[in-house]
């Protein structure tokens, strides 16, 4: 989940990456864009931001009814998040009870909430990138530093608020820290 409200930022020491309880047993998990209120460009770009810097795992776009991640780009007026990864058909939790540490095929859905992101392509793509990070098994990472141009340098796309989209060191792409975490996981 990507909360809209900025949380208190702590410039803590570097620590091991936090993972979700589950990830994919396959190195080519598939996603299907089931519903899109906006052009699919930003969703596809977001998946590519994880695929291009590494070869250990690849998010594969499909139109098949058999897929791992169902993607929705839609307006969720009753929810205060910009995006979420959750169990398929239920936006309240992410499956953490999985066999052998691996999600079953079709276990996840990814929602980008156009209520917040429809006016900005860069934010929509940034949110989709953050959520694909969850969908690959990454938990939040609040590691920050001081931005050379002033303000906060967000060192992970998994930073849990939209604050990372603002300032001199705004972040919309995975960092080296994020990519290394993916490589370590797959
Ligand atoms: Zn999140």
Strand, helix or coil at 115?
helix
Question: Can you give the pLDDT at residue 2?
Answer: 62
CATH number at 125 reads 3.40.390.10
Q: What percent of the chain has pLDDT over 70?
A: 91
Read off the pLDDT of residues 136-167 as tens digits, 9 standing for 90 and up.
999 999 999 999 989 999 999 999 999 999 99
* Ligand 1 midpoint to CA 1 (Å): 3
Please give the distance, rounded to the nearest whole angstrom, from the Cα atom of residue 135 to the centre of ligand 1: 10
Distance 57 CA to ligand 1 centre (A): 20
Asked, for residue 128, whether it belongs to a domain, the answer is yes
- Half-sphere CA count of 119, side-chain side, radius 13 A: 2
Query: How many Å apart are CA 129 and CA 44, to the nearest integer?
Result: 9
Ion ligand 1 — residues with CB < 5 Å: 1-2
Phi–psi pair at 86, nearest 5 degrees:
-155, 180
Ligand 1 center to residue 85 CA distance, Å?
Answer: 8
> Is 54 among the domain residues?
yes
Considering the domain boundaries, does residue 5 fall inside one?
Answer: no
Look up the domain containing 65 and give its range: 19-139
Is 135 among the domain residues? yes
Phi-psi region of 84 (alpha: psi -120 to 50; beta: other; left: phi over 0): beta
pLDDT higher than threshold 50 for residue 183: yes
- Å from CA of 132 to ligand 1 middle: 9
How many residues appear in the chain? 186
Which pLDDT value is given to residue 16? Answer: 77
**What whole-number distance in Å separates Cα of residue 185 and Cα of residue 80?**
30
Residue 122 forms part of a structural domain: yes
Q: How many angstroms separate the CA atoms of 174 and 103, rounded?
A: 22
Query: How many structural domains is the chain composed of?
Result: 1
pTM value is 0.91
Q: Reduced to 3 states, what is the DSSP secondary structure of residue 152?
A: strand
pLDDT in tens, 89-140: 999 999 999 999 999 999 999 999 998 876 689 999 999 999 999 999 999 9
Rounded to 10 degrees, what is the CA torsion of 43, 114, 138, 64?
-50
Strands 152-154 and 30-36: unpaired
| Residue 157, in any domain of the structure | no
92 found inside a domain: yes
Measured in Å, residue 9 CA sits from the centre of ligand 1 at: 15
Distance separating alpha carbons of residues 83 and 74, to the nearest angstrom: 10
Going from the Cα of 162 to the center of ligand 1, the distance in angstroms, rounded, reads 10
Q: Is residue 57 part of a domain?
A: yes
Rg (CA), the chain: 15
Distance between Cα 91 and ligand 1 center (Å): 13
Give, for 108, the enclosing helix (H) or strand (E). strand 108-113
Bigger pLDDT: 54 or 2?
54
């Amino acid at each position: 989940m990507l909360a809209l409200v900025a949380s208190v930022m702590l410039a803590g020491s570097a620590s091991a990456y936090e993972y979700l309880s589950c990830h994919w047993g396959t190195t080519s998990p598939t996603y299907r864009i089931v519903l899109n209120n906006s052009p699919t460009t930003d969703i596809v770009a977001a998946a590519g931001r994880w695929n291009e810097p590494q070869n250990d795992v690849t998010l594969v776009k499909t139109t098949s009814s058999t897929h791992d991640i169902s993607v929705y780009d839609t307006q969720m007026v009753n929810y205060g998040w910009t995006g979420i990864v959750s169990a398929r058909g239920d936006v309240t939790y992410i499956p953490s009870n999985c066999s052998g540490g691996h999600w079953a095929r079709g276990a996840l859905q990814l929602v980008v909430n156009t209520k917040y992101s429809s006016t900005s392509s860069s934010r929509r793509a940034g949110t989709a990138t953050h959520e694909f990070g969850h969908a690959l098994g990454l938990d939040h990472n609040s590691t920050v530093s001081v931005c050379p141009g002033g303000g906060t340098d967000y060192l992970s796309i998994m930073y849990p608020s939209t604050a990372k989209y603002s300032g001199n060191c705004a972040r919309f792409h995975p960092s080296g820290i994020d990519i290394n975490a993916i490589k370590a996981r797959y």
